[in-house]
Amino acid sequence: MHELACQARQHAYVPYITFKVGVCLRTENNTLFVGCNVQNSALPLGFCAESAAIASMITAGERKIIEIVIVADSQSLCTPCGGCRQQFAEFTVDNAVIHMGDLQTIRKTMLFKDLLPESFSAKNLG
């Protein structure tokens, strides 16, 4: 999964802020989906690698994420932004694992629920 995330990262479209991110998701059916970030000159219209991978997964009819790998070429740990954490919360199973790394290795692994405790979900809607 790390290698697939690195490969997806290579396809990122980032002409304005040259920070490339790649993601690989594994679903309950053991299917893998990848995504990369895409920028737009109207900056709010771009989207994160996590969103791209989730959209691909949903398009294929999958709904439950069990494992996530996020990579970037960065000295600091590349964690999902708040919006992507909320998107992951919608689709991750209770024991989903997230791995965050650079182009060489995974640098941190944790349960996703520990990355976004008390996330907003359908149960909050009443």
Choosing from 50, 62, 67, 90, the catalytic residue is: 50
Q: For this structure, is 50 an active site residue?
A: yes
Report DSSP letters for the chain, one per residue. Answer: -HHHHHHHHTT-B-SSS---EEEEEEETT--EEEEE-B--SSGGG-B-HHHHHHHHHHHTT---EEEEEEEES-SS-----HHHHHHHHHHEEEEEEEEEE-SS-EEEEEEHHHHSTT---GGGG-
Looking at the annotation, which residues are catalytic?
50
